[in-house]
């Protein structure tokens, strides 16, 4: 047994409470193995920047419909091996915007570790309560899976970025199509603009889905892959105004290619798509529509809501809010009547329709909402999210 295994075996169990994982023994183990299973497409492992562990390695153990099982190994930082730090390690999955659940196994002595082939014993808990419940799931073949911290766009550039067969990536940032007829120029421009007007996304051509689940890949030959890429580039150039940022990738897969059309979210939203009017209705010239991706569908913005999408500042604020993981601490700054004030709060999510950002205050544990349109700036600095507000009713 290695010194690290010996230390881990004598460390006792890890208790889970309020998003905390702390050793019951005198010292934290040098190595912690977390077997995690979550019902979500998004998975992350986190701790404060001054936490005692660093992520040594991780792999996905299995995927099933709507479920991810993963193993993460964390190692103690060298500078903190001789003192007893406060251990904070959590694995979180965001089921939907503004809500999250977390899961982690206890670190057990070697004689009590789960045997291969048995279910993963889990304790699932809310990030902000101490209530816990057990859960389990069977282990299956090792696989890769698309995983991210939030429902935000991550471009597909290589074979490793492709979602695994059997996973359910199709959501607000993914669209899978077995084929794409080159005659559908408006459809191609509409799909691209819908992603650009939302959080960005990737259109995969050569991927068959059923009810949002990736069933299999249907690689295209090189000629068809080139035609698909050229079709999207031509459609966007001819029909989208202002032009969105789009990149096409031909990814070798088995004996052919999968084409990924990566669409970045547009600050200059909304992106319009040119359509042809109907002369029988009184107008036969060009008309413009403004598509928007909503879950797995595309809708069109109505005239009365277009002004809400025309502010680059508000658009940037919403895009950055979507990148902050639920449960992360945010340093909030604002200039009050008696000078500048700074708070460190938990981010609970945001609601565009209600114009509200929700926080859980560290100092008293109270939950509080503040208006989105009071945010002056959001940025990430030294591994910490910063949020600057204009005047706020904070006492």
Per DSSP, what are the bridge partners of residue 53?
76
Angle at 319 between CA 315 and CA 325, to 5 degrees: 150
Per DSSP, what are the bridge partners of residue 14?
23
Cβ–Cβ < 8 Å for 19, 125: yes
Closest C-alpha to 263, from 146, 148, 156: 156
Compute and round to an integer the Cα radius of gyration of the chain: 24
Tokens of 100: 């999250």
Residues 282 and 310: their CA atoms lie apart, in Å, by 28
Phi and psi at residue 299, in whole multiples of 5°? -120, 175
More confident position, 4 or 192: 192
Residues 379 and 203: their CA atoms lie apart, in Å, by 28
Q: What is the DSSP letter of 372?
A: G
Q: pLDDT tens digit string along 95-152?
A: 333 333 333 333 333 333 333 333 222 223 222 222 233 333 333 222 222 222 334 6
Cβ–Cβ < 8 Å for 277, 284: yes
Please measure the distance between the N-terminal and C-terminal CA atoms of the chain and give it in whole angstroms: 56
Place of tokens 């899976």: 145
Residues 6+ apart with CB under 8 A from 141: 62
Q: Which residues of 182-195 are buried (b: 16+ CB within 10 A; e: fewer)?
A: eeebbebbbbbbbb
Residues 45 and 22: their CA atoms lie apart, in Å, by 15
Tokens of 34: 């977390």
Task: Give the side-chain half-sphere CA count within 13 A for 276.
Answer: 7
Domain ranges of the chain: 3-135, 159-305, 328-389
Q: H or E element: which one contains 230?
A: helix 222-239
Which conformational region is residue 32 in: left (phi greater than 0), alpha (psi within -120 to 50 degrees), or beta? Answer: beta
Q: What is the pLDDT of residue 239?
A: 95
Residues 124 and 103: their CA atoms lie apart, in Å, by 4
Tokens of 60: 């996905």
Residues 325 and 304: their CA atoms lie apart, in Å, by 31
Alpha carbon of residue 394 to chain centroid: 30
pTM of the model: 0.55
25 has a pLDDT exceeding 90: no
Relative orientation angle of helices 222-239 and 185-196, to the nearest 10 degrees:
70
- Coil, strand, or helix at residue 22? strand
Residues 31 and 39: their CA atoms lie apart, in Å, by 26
17 has a pLDDT exceeding 60: no
Cβ–Cβ < 8 Å for 62, 119: no
Highest mean pLDDT among 13-17, 83-87, 90-94, 99-103: 90-94
User: Could you tell me the pLDDT band of residue 53, with boundaries at 50, 70 and 90?
Assistant: low
Cβ–Cβ < 8 Å for 236, 244: yes
**Range scoring the smallest mean pLDDT among 73-82, 171-180, 188-197, 310-319:** 73-82
More confident position, 143 or 295: 295
Q: Which CATH number fits domain 159-305: 3.30.950.30, 3.40.190.10, 3.20.20.330, 3.40.50.1110?
A: 3.30.950.30
Q: What is the DSSP letter of 18?
A: T
Place of tokens 């200059």: 268
User: Could you tell me the pLDDT band of residue 184, with boundaries at 50, 70 and 90?
Assistant: confident
Q: pLDDT tens digit string along 332-364?
A: 998 777 778 888 999 998 887 788 899 998 888
């Amino acid at each position: 047994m290695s010194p690290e295994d010996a230390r881990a075996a004598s460390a006792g169990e890890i208790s889970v409470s309020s998003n905390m994982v702390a050793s019951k023994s005198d010292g934290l183990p040098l190595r912690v193995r977390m077997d995690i299973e979550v019902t979500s497409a998004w998975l992350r492992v986190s701790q404060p920047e001054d936490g005692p562990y660093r992520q040594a390695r991780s792999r996905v153990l299995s995927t099933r419909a709507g479920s991810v099982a993963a193993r993460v190994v964390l190692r103690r930082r060298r500078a903190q091996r001789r003192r007893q730090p406060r251990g904070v390690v959590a694995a979180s999955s965001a089921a939907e915007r503004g809500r999250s659940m977390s899961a982690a196994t206890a670190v057990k002595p070697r004689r009590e570790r789960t045997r291969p082939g048995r279910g993963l014993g889990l304790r699932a808990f809310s990030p902000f309560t101490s209530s816990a419940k057990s859960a389990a799931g069977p282990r299956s073949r090792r696989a890769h899976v698309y995983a991210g911290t939030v429902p935000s766009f991550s471009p597909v550039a290589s074979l490793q970025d492709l979602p695994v067969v059997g996973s359910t990536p199709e959501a607000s940032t993914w669209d899978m199509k077995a084929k794409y007829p080159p005659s559908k120029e408006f459809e191609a421009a509409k799909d691209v603009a819908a992603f650009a007007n939302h959080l960005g996304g990737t259109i995969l051509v050569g991927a068959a889905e059923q009810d949002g689940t990736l069933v299999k890949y249907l690689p295209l030959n090189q000629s068809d892959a080139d035609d698909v890429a050229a079709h999207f580039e031509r459609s966007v150039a001819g029909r989208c105004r202002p032009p969105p940022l789009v990149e096409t990738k031909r990814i070798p897969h088995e004996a052919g290619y999968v084409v990924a059309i990566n669409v970045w979210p547009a600050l200059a939203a909304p992106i319009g798509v040119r359509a042809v009017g109907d002369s029988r209705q009184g107008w036969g010239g060009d008309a413009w529509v403004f598509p928007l991706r909503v879950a797995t569908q595309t809708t069109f913005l109505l005239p009365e809501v277009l002004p809400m999408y025309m502010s680059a500042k508000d658009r940037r604020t919403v895009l950055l809010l979507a990148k902050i993981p639920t449960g992360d601490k945010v340093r909030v700054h604002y200039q009050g009547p008696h000078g500048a004030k700074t708070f460190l709060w938990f981010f609970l999510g945001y609601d565009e329709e209600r114009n509200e950002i929700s926080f859980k205050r560290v100092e008293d544990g109270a939950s509080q909402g503040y208006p989105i349109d009071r945010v002056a700036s959001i940025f990430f600095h030294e591994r910490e999210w910063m949020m600057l507000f204009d005047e706020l009713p904070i006492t």
